[in-house]
Amino acid sequence: MEPDTKPHRLGSARKIILIVGVCALIVGGGVFAATSGVGADLVQSVAAPNSRPSAAPSTASPSEPPAAPPVQLVASPVNGAAQVNPAAPVTLSAKGGTLETVSLANAAGEKVAGSMGADDLTWTASEPLLFDSTYTLASTVKDAAGKSSTSTSSFSTVPAANEADAAIYPLDGMNVGVGQPLQIVFSEPVVNREAVEKAISVTTTAGQQGAFHWYSDTMVRYRPEAFWTANTTVTMDMKLFGLDIGNGQIANFNKTLNVNIGDKRVAVADATAHTFTLSINDQVIKTVPATMGDERFPSANGFAVLMEKNRYDHFRAASIGLKPGDPAFYGELDVEHTIRLSLSGAYIHQALESAYSSLGNANVSHGCIGLGPVDAAWVFDTMQTGDVVQVINTDGEYAAPTDGFQDWNIPWADYAN
């Protein structure tokens, strides 16, 4: 008896039909279309050999921009710098982004002015800093993706111990005579003299040239070869702020001063003739009798520049080394119409009444130039600081150049070197 094979054929036929139907679904509608209903397991088993795992889903929000490299900031001075020269440029530059805001301020909150470049890549301070101060440089930057961030750095400037100042004479706007040198006295020793001289410009309306002369490592003066031209203006422009004068000492000032030169007033005091002759603009105006230093205290030789005037002054013998018991000791005296010629105590002044008979006849003073009351008042009113007195025919030595302004006793060839 033959086996009944029809049901078997029917089952095989059903499988074939089902497979063909599934294949038709795969081709016509995609995998997701066949993942429900009858034959789902079969679909997966058929599709698996040719499938690949899908990429993991992104966790980034579609609204966030892609990350950008951080902005690189280059600051000068660098963060943490110490003893920064207050004249040094302060800059901040951005790489890989732009600067939005920049602020530079000291510990007291005082801001330093500055300007941003046209491309917003560099900021530069536009004014000098203070000495002995700490500064904070704060900024906001934007990276290539438009994200903003902040940054700060700090530095400190030269301390007070390394700050160099100076006293200058004459003062700005002063009226002085033709013999007045310009003088600068620094608070600290100057090593870099050439650099200091290059930073100082001296000009005159008469076009005169002059030279510097260093008397010490702190004091320098400037004068022309001959007296200043009468009725002109001398301008000294000092650009010394931030200059290292040596040993790490930094100058703390810039200054411009204008000095007005008056008429040419030069007097000659003759110790032999016992006279005092004043010329104005090279014309003799008046000669008056005088008394000068005696044999023990001869008046100093050469040129002297009038330093200061006092209607009344108080003289003390002790100031020139005299003690009680010395025949020349005069104790203390009130004197009128005094004009200082030296730091050591030489003056033009009204003679004491006891010396009136010696005027024009003998030298009886302690080195000063004594005049009668009327003549002393006239000289006091006519002459001014910076005018010149030349003492001649005296046995006295030249006063030290720094014992007042005795610069004109130094030959020009020596002064200018």
C-beta neighbour count of 415 within 10 angstroms:
19
Give the Cα separation of 323 and 48 in Å (integer): 126
CATH code for position 274:
2.40.440.10
**254 and 354 part of one domain:** no
Q: Which residues of the chain have pLDDT under 70?
A: 1-66
Beta bridge partners of 391: 269, 302
Give the per-residue pLDDT at 317.
79
Active-site residue identified among 213, 274, 337, 349:
349
Q: Are the C-beta atoms of residues 107 and 134 closer than 8 Å to each other?
A: yes
Sole residue written with tokens 């032999």: 272
> Using one digit for the tens of pLDDT, what is the confidence trace for 3-26?
444 444 434 433 333 333 333 333
5 lies in a domain? no
Give the Cα separation of 211 and 255 in Å (integer): 19
302 lies in a domain? yes
Q: Which of 310, 297, 283 is nearest to 366 (CA)?
A: 297
C-beta neighbour count of 409 within 10 angstroms:
16
Q: Which of 338, 341, 350 is nearest to 388 (CA)?
A: 341
User: Domain boundary at 158, 180, 205, which?
Assistant: 158
One-letter amino acid identity for 406?
Q
> Using one digit for the tens of pLDDT, what is the confidence trace for 268-287?
999 999 999 999 999 999 99
Give the Cα separation of 355 and 336 in Å (integer): 14
Give the per-residue pLDDT at 406.
97
Q: Which of 259, 304, 280 is nearest to 398 (CA)?
A: 304
**228 and 368 part of one domain:** no
**249 and 277 part of one domain:** no
Number of domains within the chain: 3
55 lies in a domain? no
Active-site residue identified among 213, 337, 366, 368:
368
403 lies in a domain? yes
Give the per-residue pLDDT at 331.
78
- Counts for the chain of helices (H) and strands (E), in that order: 5, 27
Give the per-residue pLDDT at 323.
83
Give the Cα separation of 138 and 102 in Å (integer): 6
**139 and 214 part of one domain:** no
> Using one digit for the tens of pLDDT, what is the confidence trace for 364-387?
999 999 999 999 999 999 999 999
> Using one digit for the tens of pLDDT, what is the confidence trace for 187-216?
999 999 999 999 999 999 999 999 999 999
**291 and 380 part of one domain:** yes
**405 and 273 part of one domain:** yes
220 lies in a domain? yes
CA 5, chain centre distance (Å): 116
Inter-axis angle of helices 6-29 and 40-47, nearest 10: 70
C-beta neighbour count of 327 within 10 angstroms:
6
**306 and 192 part of one domain:** no
36 lies in a domain? no
User: Active-site residue 213, yes or no?
Assistant: no
Sole residue written with tokens 């008394």: 291
Give the Cα separation of 147 and 312 in Å (integer): 77
**277 and 241 part of one domain:** no
**321 and 365 part of one domain:** yes
State the residue range of the domain holding 348: 265-415
C-beta neighbour count of 59 within 10 angstroms:
5
42 lies in a domain? no
**103 and 237 part of one domain:** no
User: Active-site residue 349, yes or no?
Assistant: yes
188 lies in a domain? yes
**318 and 406 part of one domain:** yes
User: Domain boundary at 261, 287, 302, which?
Assistant: 261
Torsion of CA 98, 103, 107, 110, to 10 degrees: 170
Give the per-residue pLDDT at 249.
98
**297 and 404 part of one domain:** yes
User: Domain boundary at 210, 226, 261, which?
Assistant: 261
Paired sense of beta strands 249-251 and 244-246, if any: antiparallel
